[in-house]
Chain A
Amino acid sequence: MRKLFINCDEATTICTKNQYKEASFIEKIQLGIHLLRCKICGLYSKQNTKLTEVCNKHLNKSKCEHLLTEKDKERIKEKLAEADK
């Protein structure tokens, strides 16, 4: 049997899973019950949703490709040639 009452640490973890839509049905119920009793986690939960919005809006895939410099490549080639001897 999963417990009905969870602590704030567990509640905020579920809240985070929920931000990625990965909390299970039971976890959502546990979180719901906790939020009825805990104002602090309620505030956290609201701010966590805001954090998701901010991240979705402003953290984008970097479009720049990371490339090695020719110098780096030469160095790796030299080391490989040495190792191959």
Chain B
Amino acid sequence: MPEVQQHTLDPNKWVDLHSDYLFNYTITRVDDEELAKDIVQETFFSGLKAMKNFRGQAAERTWLISILKRKIIDHYRKINSKKGKAEVKLNFYEDGDKKGTWIEERVPQTWDNEAETDIENEELKEAIGKCVENLPVKYRTVFLLKNVEQYETEEICNELGITASNLWVIIHRARHQLRKCLEDNWFTK
């Protein structure tokens, strides 16, 4: 029989060995340093409490990451149930005869200088960066995971505990806001 490596836990070394990795992992998913620190700390606490359930099948870090993932999902549950919807301006009528059609003052405008805008432009880079920064945190995180980290839809849904239609509503709204922001600050000055 092949020998299976039995992993062990050593909480005294957790902070030195794993805290940077867990912190980095968390910050790309919650985009807030203080919050990320808290989540990492809570992960270690839960790890301590759950040590007796550790079967030695996974490496220490993998085991800690699995706890961390639950914490991140919990965080998203919390902010999902709170606000979120009101944070981004709606572009469409929500009910009545006009349900789902454009609200007049939110209709996209023609971009006068689109043709002569050089995509390489450094100022454009700054403008889009600022627009992304101004997104509400939940929208920004999901948008960045999809666009920049290029995660699969399914992966993001699993990690944040949201459904695919949730995800598309978030990305849809984030992009509406980004489009409007670029329009106001760049394309129709």
Binding site for B on A (CB under 8 A): 6-10, 12-13, 16-17, 19-20, 22, 40, 43-44, 47-48, 50-51, 53-61, 65-68, 72-73, 76-77, 79-80, 83-84
Tell me the interface secondary structure of chain A in the complex: helix
Contact of A73 with B16 in the complex, beta carbons under 8 Å: yes
Partner of A48, one of B37, B45, B148, B175: B175
Contact of A13 with B108 in the complex, beta carbons under 8 Å: no
The answer to whether B101 has its CB under 8 Å from any CB of chain A is: yes
> Chain A's nearest CB lies how many Å from the CB of B16?
7
Binding site for A on B (CB under 8 A): 11, 14-16, 19-20, 23-24, 27, 33, 36-37, 40-41, 44-45, 48, 91-92, 99-102, 107-108, 110-111, 114, 119-120, 124-125, 128-129, 132, 144, 146-149, 153, 168-169, 171-172, 175-176, 178-179, 182-183
Partner of B179, one of A8, A47, A73, A76: A47
Contact of B108 with A44 in the complex, beta carbons under 8 Å: yes
Chain A residue nearest in CB terms to B27: A66
Partner of A43, one of B19, B108, B149: B108
Contact of A17 with B168 in the complex, beta carbons under 8 Å: yes
Known interface pairs A43-B108, A72-B37, A76-B44. Does A59 touch B148 (Cβ–Cβ under 8 Å)?
A: yes
Chain A residue nearest in CB terms to B41: A76
Contact of B108 with A7 in the complex, beta carbons under 8 Å: no
Complex CA gap A55/B176 in Å reads 14
Taking A9-B92, A54-B119, A66-B27 as given, write out 12 further A-B residue pairs in contact, using a Cβ cutoff of 8 Å, ordered by the A residue number: A12-B91, A13-B168, A19-B175, A47-B111, A48-B175, A48-B179, A55-B128, A59-B147, A65-B24, A67-B20, A68-B37, A73-B19
Which residues of chain B come closer than 8 Å to A56, judged between CB atoms?
147
Contact of A79 with B119 in the complex, beta carbons under 8 Å: no
Contact of A54 with B124 in the complex, beta carbons under 8 Å: yes
Chain B residue nearest in CB terms to A42: B108
Contact of B110 with A43 in the complex, beta carbons under 8 Å: yes
Partner of A13, one of B125, B172, B178: B172
Complex CA gap A20/B40 in Å reads 32
> Chain B's nearest CB lies how many Å from the CB of A61?
6
> Chain B's nearest CB lies how many Å from the CB of A38?
9
> Chain A's nearest CB lies how many Å from the CB of B23?
5
> Chain A's nearest CB lies how many Å from the CB of B10?
12
> Chain A's nearest CB lies how many Å from the CB of B171?
6
> Chain A's nearest CB lies how many Å from the CB of B9?
12
